[in-house]
Amino acid sequence: MANKRRPKKARVPYRRYGPGGVIIRSDNNNKTHGSSDDEDEEEEEVKQSDVVKSGHYDLSSTSAYSSTWPVSKFQKIDVLKFAIIGEKIKKGELVEFPVDFGHSNHQNMTSTDDKNLKLPVEILHLILKYVEKIDPKYLRVCKLFYHLYAPILYERPQLDSYNFFQFVETLSSIKNKVGKLVKVLDLSTIIQSGKNSYVSKLLRRCSANLEVFVAPQTSFGYAPLVSLRGCKKIKVLDLRLVSETMNLKELFYSIKNSTDLTHLSFPRSSITCETYDDTFWPPNLWYLRLSGGISDDFIMSSTLPKSITRLEFAHCPLLKEFAMYQLLAKFGENLTHLSIQYPMPGLNEQSMDYIFTYCPNLLFLQVTVDYCSRFLFSEDLLPKLFNKERPLKTLWIDSSGALGQGTKIHPDDLTIALMEDRLPCLKNIRITSKLGWDLNSDDVGDLINVLEERDGGLYINYH
């Protein structure tokens, strides 16, 4: 039972601070007193300073913790004005944001509307996208920033030998579902750390929305191929760096359900596929890089989709000249880009002289001087097309650097072909320094002058 005779405590008048440091007093009877004239002027100055007049603002303020843009009848967003601001930002101009990040100057607005005015989520998402350096520290700003920045952070993870195991452990957690945010998984920098179990686990965790996958340089065995079956949205599959032997039949079975696949690069150590009847080619494939143990029977028996417009040959030791031309005879007219890289031991010194006969619609051509000669640009093997001009625009000439290869193609061979309009659309030519052309000679100077008249040029590759 309380002691009623004990004297009551005297309460000190309550003091709280309003906007701008304005003191609002309330007595024991809960009566509120206004501020003085000096305090009103101070409050007005604070309100004016709250208006942000530049694109730089403090992320630590409470305005960054909004999850929605509240509907307000006193302030509207001018979409056209923000579009103009976006164009100015792209040009690097200094702009002023017409948004009040703090208190509003509208006198008719209630205190609730004044506190809830925040930057729109769409604008925050665009700002985070324009951040050049991806830094996980933005995830700790607030819950809103975490949901906005997590898809940007995990969409294209930058992996190396130092953070690879931590990334695998993060995705291996049962409660963690960040694997669904990964769209591009590039493991080209992983050499000794990329075990089959780790690669298989990453493919399973990221299979929901994975679109681009670059395999590591060492391990890609049966387990990753099984996990690859679940990646139904994959568009780019690059296996060119894989040094482990792979069965092509199992590879085709793994991409059987990948109907969105557009880029496919074979591994350089793949073995010969024994059966060709059940070979499945993705229907939307338009880039194909053939390498490894591709045999002549596989090339002649396979029916490639007509959607392929870019074709590359690289590191095919078993492929012969007649098999390549039989393949080009089937759909060479559909090709716009063709690349024949070194080494191709099955080709001789003049195997690729008939490329333009089988591929008249090329826009880009990369050849190695080891497999062609000056007759490639002759009038007999480079005739004018009927009712149209030959569309070739870019030509790359590479060389292995072996003795005797530098004299097979002379600058005058290209200059004469250009002046006689055999290649009327050709503008850019890139040659390797291994050809041994004298850049100060008159022959090279004539070729450069002809290309410059077409708004093009001659480029030298020193690698």
Count CA within 13 A, CB hemisphere, residue 350.
Answer: 7
Which segments in the chain show pLDDT lower than 70? 1-118, 174, 192-194, 272-278
Angle in degrees, CA 290, 285, 293, rounded to 5: 20
C-alpha closest to that of 66 among 119, 7, 3: 119
The pTM is what? 0.73
- How far apart are the C-alpha atoms of 456 and 112, rounded to whole Å? 64
Q: What is the pLDDT of residue 115?
A: 46
Q: CA-CA distances (angstroms) from residue 254 to 227, 238, 257, 281?
A: 8, 14, 7, 11
pLDDT at residue 52 in the model: 34
Mapped onto helix, strand or coil, the DSSP state of residue 439 is coil
- Do 303 and 281 touch, CB atoms closer than 8 A? yes
| Confidence (pLDDT) at 298 | 86
pLDDT of residue 67: 37
Angstrom distance (rounded) from CA 351 to CA 357? 13
Task: Classify residue 384 by its DSSP letter.
Answer: P
